[in-house]
A and B are shown apart, each in its own frame.
Chain A
């Protein structure tokens, strides 16, 4: 890869990689360092990229590993709790977004994503922000498919409950069709 191609690569992925690192590290300064270190690693190891996965997936795996290394060095490694992988899928009713103004919803989501446990937040970020499929998330994080689905379900549940808690209780939301 030439310097020019690498420049394009950085331009394409730097914002998304930073979002992912922020979700994992919960700290802007650490996240910037992690992303810069990840790009340096990607640059040095570009010859090892075989094209088995997309280059984005490969980069996200480097970012994920780099963030875990930082968390380990800060003694903040996330705990891998055992999960029930047979939980029902959770989804958010579209009407819920019409009941509060956009700025408030964005504030709620930002707060909840920042407060969400690391391994849930990173899976949510990979799925909703980086547009990764379940299989890609498995490849990036090394989690099992069932764990990825469960973390996504619980992440959605946390966000849904946070939005609902700001609403007046109404019968239609109280009787949601899912969990």
Chain B
């Protein structure tokens, strides 16, 4: 009865295949679960305003400083909106950068330049490019959206004494500069502790360390220090949040393109 045998064999193969695939499936599911929880815990913050100091260092330790103020607005069912006004270097003071991010579609970005008093739209394929010549890319700074990645749980790990989930994220957007990122998310509060970024050729490009977490509105943990180290060029950028306030009364109208030209 060769027919039966084949069927049985095929059935066996199916079961074996399922058993083999199951852990992978489970990892994907667990990864998404953790990411979902992370997103959920960071939902409902409304709007915020912050002052940011960026310190850029090259391989030989030369420093350069950037200062900016950022306003942010949470948008339910779409990406967040943010407006960044540059204070330093002095020759770009007053320049303002507006982003309407979207989970899957390309972000909308505009830049206002006071020297020519004009607003210019910026193509958002640059998301992989550096922000203000720092080691942060745009895509490292935009809001965390589930639809942007494919998640996979890798393992548990203890980082600096903190128990973490280690999650692999594969960007969905082909314009991303990364082949994947690996995030350490703490198990107690689902806060990102560290992210490793891998470039398109699968080499470790940079590592982000998030620290000095503070609790806002009794609910939202935010890092006051982000340190990005580029392993390939030896350059690094420290991003310090000098001030951060929530519930500052911003609304969608404050993030309209027309607002840009009225800034100063």
User: Is chain B a partner of chain A in the same complex?
Assistant: no
Chain A contact residues, CB within 8 Å of chain B: none
